[in-house]
Amino acid sequence: MQSDEAIRAAFPGDLYVTWGDVCRRLVGAGYGDVVTDSYLRHSPELARLASPQAAIALAAIVSGLAIRAGRRAASLAPAAAIVAAKRYNDAAALQEWLRLIEQVGDQAPESAGALLDQTASLTARLDVRALASWIRIGLRSTNGEPERRLRFFTLEDPNARRWLLRESGEAGFLDLEPRLKPYLAALWGETPPMRETPANAPEQARRRPGFDGSVVRLPAAYPGFSGNDSEKLYRAAVAHIGAHLKFSHERFPVGGLKPAQIALVSLIEDARVEQLAMRELPGLRRLFTPFHVAEASGTATAPGLFTRLARALADPAHDDPDPWVEKGRRAFFEAEGYWGSQQVSRRIGDLLGNDLGQMRVQFDPKNYVVQPPYRDDNLGLWDFGDDDQQQSSEAEQVLSSTRIRQEQDDRRPPDRTETEMGDTGGRVEVIEQAQDGVLVARYPEYDYVTGREQPEWTSVKEYAPKAVANGPAARLAEEHADLVARVAALIRSARVSRAERLRRQPEGEFLDMDACIEATVARRIGEAADHRIHGRYERRSRDLSVLLLLDISQSTAEKVRGSTRTVLDVERQSASLLARAMAGLGDPFAIAAFCSDKRDDVRYLRIKDFNRGYDGLVDARLDGLESGLSTRIGAAMRHAGADLARERSYRRLLLVVTDGEPSDIDVEDRQYLVEDSRKAVHHLNRFGIDTFCVGLDSNADSYLGRIFGQRNAITIAAVERLTDLLPKLYLTLSR
């Protein structure tokens, strides 16, 4: 225990009394000695380090933790608070940290202890804002399941590690991918698919890049390298792999080679392809060399010698007195004239491997990691002769730890899909057959609290739409013949009135009388006359693609006021009518419907694609729609936008019909999906896709305006009017 004076010094004036009170309360609550002792011991220090107020506030948090999360977590908090106070050294940050602990204690009591255990490492890597963001992700991504949460906060969950990396600002592969792909293409004209090493791959594979015939695999991140360095590291990795793709034409047969020989042949081959690459692209030397930092000193272990040899081969200016390294270097540079052949690597590697054996230097294949870190694991250089497993098993050991199950590479890691828009046009690859929907794409979601997009947060699955014969949409023509006729008339006029009268033209079909008179007047008074005295009619060609996106969430099952029809019924009739209108105008259009069941199952149903004509099947599919689930509109719009982006029309319009606020059951914050949808709209607009929304909810004004902008959303109170309004609206929009 500390002296009374020390405590009085830490809690000056009345605060000493307050501190006494909170301590008595803690003792009285009966949380046990571990908890109270911890608080009594650490709170004065916290008071000195940060503020007495913070130390007093801590008591309430300790108490809360003791009640909800247990005594262990409660007893950890005071010491953790000191770590956090030292690390952040800022009153506001500490306060925020305390709030976070309280929040986790409330919302994820089982994980509070795990989180507090890691205070030192977490606070070292994340500032308090990033920590808040990471915790938020942890709470939200685990769908309220305590076990998953615990796995997240103990960092057992690979995703937790991934998010941690991202939040710590250490640039990871996903951030850099858009630059690395063109970089590789530019350097070598090679465009193999690039994938992040799956989080469940063995540790060594996650630390180094790799390639095989078809896929380049890069680590999710290089921990310990800050933003700029890590970008250089990735670039070097990509340039190096590119050199392999360019100059390592054949795979070496593993045959009877020993692990050390395999490692050495790989090392020489690395040096060989880099030398060839630098002949063509001398600037690569500046990229590679800084990563070779091995010093010519220390005991002669195999990994140490290998690293030094790598440096000696890459950096001719570097001097290494070790005879083995020197021998390797001499052999390598003497063979300069033969670098064109891969056999050089094989020969020198064998030679050095034998020497290494004679020097009795032990090589431990299990723990060997290629150095420097930008170099790949060399798996792609070797042919294991897979049917001859027996023989190669020993040799394979050097690489086995880095070998990822083949099928995974073949199938491509399921967590990457193409979602870029623009010139690839939001290409999506069908990669995984879900139970009944097909996972086609993952999209980011925007978190307005952190102000960032969480990449690949939502999964869009496409479901085959059911077709129902003779439903309301199909019967539309009979039941609402008047409506159909009215829309048909509307279209006729829209089609024929499209010619415009252009005046004051230098040439044309008729004389523009006003211009003629002016020209004559000008001429009479001796001025130069404007010669543009003609006029003509010109038809403006329509060049517009539309995608109609229907909300079919549970709320659309409600009956329309004063009618027996549901909101969905109205939607499908309107869609059918609009489809007729659009088909009549000859504009390319598509119809899709969406609903969602949490972020990993955003359902997307294609009713009609752009390249299909409008026919009975479209109506049958509209009739087959069923109401259900929630409204995660942002993800659906991103997916629809990707479709539209492929259209080559001058104008592209995404027309959304929704009956309620964006919502989903894994989201409590009402504003969250609104802000995400707003972000999605901005994103689409940036790619030249216009968005317009029709809200079927009299209260929709507030959030639809926020999402789409006031001018790009209307709300219809009387849902029945949608059928009538939609085609008119369309004609207005498409003008």
Partner 1 sequence: MHSTSGAKSAHDPALDDFRIDQEPYYRSVGHEVALFEAAYGARMPVMLKGPTGCGKTRFVEHMAWRLKRPLVTVSCHEDMTASDLVGRYLLDADGTVWHDGPLTLAVRSGAICYLDEIVEARQDTTVVIHSLTDDRRILPLEKKNEVLKAHPDFQLVISYNPGYQSVLKDLKESTKQRFAAIAFTYPDAAIEAEIVASEAGVKRPVAETLVRIAQRSRNLKGHGLEEGASTRMLINAGHLVAGGIALDQACEVALVLPITDDADMRDALTAAIAACL
Identity of the residue, 104 or 278, whose beta carbon is nearer to partner 1 in the bound complex: 278
Q: What is the nearest approach in angstroms of partner 1 to the Cβ of residue 430?
A: 22
Q: How far apart are CA 557 and CA 551, in angstroms?
A: 11
How far is residue 457's CA from residue 672's CA, in Å, rounded to a whole number? Answer: 13
If you search the block for the tokens 């006031």, which residue do you land on? 710
* Contacts to partner 1 from residues 466-495, by CB under 8 A: none
Least distance to partner 1, CB of residue 282, Å = 7
Name the packing angle between helices 567-585 and 722-733 (round to 10°): 40
Name which of 20 and 422 has its Cβ closer to partner 1. 422
Map the footprint of partner 1 across residues 281-310, applying CB under 8 A. 281-284, 286-287
Per CB under 8 A, the segment of 106-114, 207-215, 334-342, 522-530 that binds partner 1 is: 522-530
Q: Is 533 a binder of partner 1 (CB under 8 A)?
A: yes
Question: Least distance from C-beta 373 to partner 1, angstroms?
Answer: 18
Stretch that binds partner 1, among 16-24, 350-358, 483-491, 527-535 (CB under 8 A): 527-535
Cβ at position 186, least distance to partner 1 in Å:
4
CA gap 391, 404 in Å, rounded:
20
The count of residues interacting with partner 1 (CB under 8 A) is 31
- Nearest approach, Cβ of residue 525 and partner 1 (Å): 11
Site membership for partner 1, residue 526 (CB under 8 A): yes
CA 332 – CA 338 distance, rounded (Å):
10
By CB under 8 A, is residue 531 in contact with partner 1?
yes
Determine which residue in the list 330, 466, 648, 682 makes contact with partner 1, applying CB under 8 A.
648
Closer by beta carbon to partner 1, 281 or else 733? 281
Nearest 10 degrees: Cα torsion 470, 473, 475, 478 = -160
Does 23 bind partner 1 (CB under 8 A)? Our answer is: no
Among candidate residues 551, 552, 719, 549, the one with its CA nearest the CA of residue 627:
552
3-state helix, strand, coil in the chain (%, to 5): 55, 15, 30
Q: What is the rounded distance in angstroms from the CA atom of residue 60 to the CA atom of residue 54?
A: 10
CA dihedral sign of residues 83, 87, 89, 90: negative
In 3D, which of 373, 365, 364, 366 has the Cα closest to residue 206? Answer: 373
Task: For the segment 410-449, give every residue that binds partner 1 (CB under 8 A).
Answer: 423
Smallest separation (angstroms) from partner 1 to the CB of 424: 9
List the structure tokens of 491.
């279209």
Q: How far is the CB of 469 from partner 1 (least distance, A)?
A: 37
Backbone angles phi, psi at 523, to 5 degrees: -70, -40
Which DSSP string corresponds to 492-509?
HHHHHTTEEEEEEESS-S
Task: Retrieve residue 75's tokens.
Answer: 């007893």
Minimum CB separation of residue 506 from partner 1 in Å reads 7
Which of residues 366 and 452 has its CB atom nearest to partner 1 in the complex?
Answer: 452
How far is Cα 106 from Cα 64, in angstroms, rounded to an integer? 8
Question: Under the criterion CB under 8 A, does residue 514 sit at the interface with partner 1?
Answer: no
**Encoded tokens for 668:** 């409590």
| Alpha-carbon gap, residue 208 to 373, rounded angstroms | 6
- Which residue, 288 or 339, is less far from partner 1 as judged by CB? 288
Q: Which stretch binds partner 1 (CB under 8 A): 278-286, 411-419, 600-608, 711-719?
A: 278-286
Cis-peptide into 372, omega within 30 deg: yes
Q: Angle at the Cα of 135 (from 119 to 101), degrees rounded to 5?
A: 55
Shortest distance, position 179 Cβ to partner 1, whole Å: 5
606 - beta bridge partners? 592
Task: Work out whether 721 is an interface residue with partner 1 (CB under 8 A).
Answer: no
Cβ 423 to partner 1, closest distance in Å?
7
Contact between 507 and partner 1 by CB under 8 A: the answer reads: yes
**Token pair belonging to 716:** 């219809």
Nearer to partner 1, 258 or 292 (CB): 292
Min dist. Cβ of residue 372 to partner 1 (A) = 17
As measured in angstroms, the least distance from the Cβ of 518 to partner 1 is: 11
How many CA atoms does the CB half-sphere of 319 hold within 13 Å? 1
CB atoms within 10 A of CB 1: 9
How near is the Cβ of 649 to partner 1 at its closest, in Å?
A: 10
Q: How far apart are the C-alpha atoms of 98 and 61, rounded to whole Å?
A: 8
- Window contacting partner 1 (CB under 8 A); options: 51-59, 250-258, 528-536, 560-568: 528-536
Query: Closer CB to partner 1, residue 533 or residue 595?
Result: 533
Site for partner 1 in 165-204 (CB under 8 A): 178-183, 185-189, 191
**Which residue's structure tokens are 């199950």?**
405
Which DSSP state fits 172? B
> Which listed range, 277-285, 436-444, 546-554, 699-707, lies at the site for partner 1 (CB under 8 A)?
277-285
Interaction between residue 605 and partner 1 (CB under 8 A) = no
644 binding partner 1? (CB under 8 A): no
The two structure tokens encoding residue 309: 């040899």
What the block records as the tokens of 654 is: 């995404």
Residue span binding partner 1 (CB under 8 A) among the ranges 279-287, 311-319, 376-384, 677-685: 279-287
Nearest Cα to Cα of residue 181 among 191, 169, 168, 167: 191
Q: Measured from the CB atom, is 188 or 672 closer to partner 1?
A: 188
Q: In terms of C-beta density within 10 A (0-12 exposed, 13-18 middle, 19 or more buried), how is residue 67 classed?
A: middle
Closest separation between CB of residue 543 and partner 1, Å? 8
x-marked contacts with partner 1 along 235-254 as a string, rule CB under 8 A: x---x---------------
Give me the residues that bind partner 1 (CB under 8 A), please: 178-183, 185-189, 191, 235, 239, 280-284, 286-287, 423, 506-507, 519, 523, 526, 529, 531, 533, 648
